[in-house]
C-alpha cells in the first residue's frame, strides 16, 4: 500500500490568550496556511485546513514535505508555539475531490495518536509515528532540531525565516519556489505580527528593502547530500549574507555575525539530514 503522511497541528497554550488575540492569531495563521499551501501544492494530496477550533490537518504524498511545511509554519508563527503530530501510513477512505477532514486511514490515526502524545509531553512539540522501526531515531532528530530553533531569539528566528524564503531547503518535486514571495509578504508585516504582542505595537519588524521581484534560489538537499559527506558549510550559499543585508538594510558583517551566533547553517544541516532519513525510510 502506498504510504501517505498526515499532519495535525494546533496552537500551544491557546487558552492562555484573550479572545481578541486568539482571533487575531487564527486570522494570521489562516493567511500563512493559505500561502504555504501554494508553496507545497506539488506534494499535497489534501490541502492543510482548519478542522475544528485551533486544529489544522492535511495530507502529503511525502513525509519530507510535511516536515518542511511544519518547519516553515513554525517560523512564521513564532513566538506563538505550535504542536504537531505526523503520521505515516495508508490512505484508506478516499473521497475524490474531498477535503482532508473527509479522508481517513492509518496515516490520520497515527497523526492523531502522535499529537495526543505531544499534548501530554511538556518538552516536545512534534512527534512522528509510523509502522516502521526508525521512529525513535527520527523523533530524536526532530526533537533536536526543535530545541535548536527554540533557543533562538525572535530576531534570529525572523532572520532564518527570511533566509528560508530566499534560499529554501527543497526536496525534489516537493514545493513550488514561485510561492515564497507571496508568503513573505504575508508574514513580514506589522499588521500580522502585532497580533502576538499584548500592546499590539507596530514597527517591531525590520523594514525590508524590496527591489524587484524576490529572487528565490532553492537549495536541493539531494544534490548537497549525494556526495555522501557534507558539513554545515555545504548549506552556505554564495552571496547569502550580501542578499540578506541588502533586504534588511544592515551590514553584511552584522548578518554574518547573526547567522553564526544563531547556528543557522548547523540547523539547516540537521534538517537536511532529517529529510534524507525520511526519504530513505519512507521514500519520496
Which stretch, 95-99, 110-114, 180-184, 253-257, has highest mean pLDDT? 110-114
- Residue-wise pLDDT for 131-178, tens only, equals 988 999 999 999 999 999 888 888 888 888 888 888 888 777 788 888
Percent of the chain residues topping a pLDDT of 70: 85
Give residue 83's Cα distance to chain centre: 12
CA pair distance 190, 85, nearest whole angstrom: 30
pLDDT of residue 199: 43
Higher pLDDT, 170 or 34: 34
CA pair distance 46, 197, nearest whole angstrom: 33
Query: What is the set of domains in the chain, with CATH numbers?
Result: 4-282 (3.30.70.270)
Which stretch, 214-223, 227-236, 238-247, has highest mean pLDDT? 238-247
3-state secondary structure of 212: coil
3-state secondary structure of 102: helix
**pLDDT at position 229 over 80:** no
Beta bridge partners of 169: 219
- Label residue 22 by pLDDT band (50, 70, 90): confident
- Residue-wise pLDDT for 90-103, tens only, equals 999 888 889 998 88
- Label residue 203 by pLDDT band (50, 70, 90): very low
How many alpha carbons lie under 13 Å from residue 96 in its C-beta half-sphere?
Answer: 0
Cell of 161: 525565516
Whether cis (ω within 30° of 0) applies to the bond prior to 153 is no
Q: Are strands 55-60 and 4-11 parallel, antiparallel or unpaired?
A: antiparallel
CA pair distance 234, 268, nearest whole angstrom: 9
CA pair distance 170, 203, nearest whole angstrom: 32
pLDDT of residue 74: 94
Higher pLDDT, 280 or 8: 8
Amino acid at each position: 500500500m502506498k504510504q501517505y503522511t498526515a499532519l495535525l497541528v494546533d496552537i500551544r497554550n491557546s487558552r492562555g490568550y484573550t479572545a481578541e488575540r486568539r482571533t487575531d492569531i487564527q486570522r494570521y495563521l489562516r493567511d500563512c496556511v493559505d500561502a504555504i499551501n501554494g508553496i507545497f501544492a506539488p506534494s499535497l494530496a489534501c490541502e492543510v485546513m482548519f478542522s475544528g477550533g485551533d486544529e489544522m490537518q492535511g495530507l502529503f504524498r511525502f513525509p519530507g514535505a510535511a516536515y518542511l511545511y511544519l518547519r516553515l509554519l513554525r517560523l512564521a508563527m513564532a513566538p506563538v508555539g505550535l504542536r504537531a503530530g505526523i503520521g505515516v501510513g495508508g490512505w484508506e477512505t478516499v473521497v475524490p475531490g474531498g477535503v482532508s477532514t473527509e479522508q481517513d486511514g492509518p496515516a490520520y490515526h497515527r497523526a492523531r495518536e502522535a499529537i495526543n502524545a505531544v499534548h501530554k509531553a511538556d518538552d516536545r512539540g512534534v512527534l512522528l509515528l509510523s509502522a516502521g522501526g526508525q521512529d525513535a531515531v527520527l523523533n530524536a532528530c526532530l526533537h533536536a532540531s526543535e530545541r535548536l530553533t527554540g533557543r533562538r531569539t525572535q530576531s534570529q528566528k525572523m532572520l532564518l525565516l527570511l533566509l528560508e524564503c530566499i534560499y529554501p531547503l527543497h526536496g525534489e518535486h516537493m514545493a513550488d519556489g514561485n510561492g515564497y514571495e507571496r508568503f513573505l509578504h504575508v508574514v513580514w508585516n506589522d499588521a500580522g505580527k502585532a497580533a502576538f504582542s499584548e500592546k499590539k505595537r507596530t514597527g517591531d519588524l525590520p523594514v525590508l528593502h524590496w527591489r524587484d521581484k524576490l529572487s528565490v534560489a532553492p537549495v536541493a538537499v539531494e544534490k548537497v547530500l549525494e556526495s555522501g559527506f557534507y558539513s554545515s558549510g555545504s548549506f552556505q550559499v554564495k552571496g547569502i549574507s550580501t542578499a540578506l543585508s541588502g533586504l534588511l538594510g544592515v551590514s553584511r558583517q552584522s548578518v554574518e555575525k547573526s547567522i553564526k551566533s544563531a547556528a543557522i547553517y548547523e540547523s539547516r544541516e540537521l534538517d537536511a539530514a532529517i529529510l534524507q532519513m525520511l526519504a530513505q525510510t519512507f521514500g519520496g
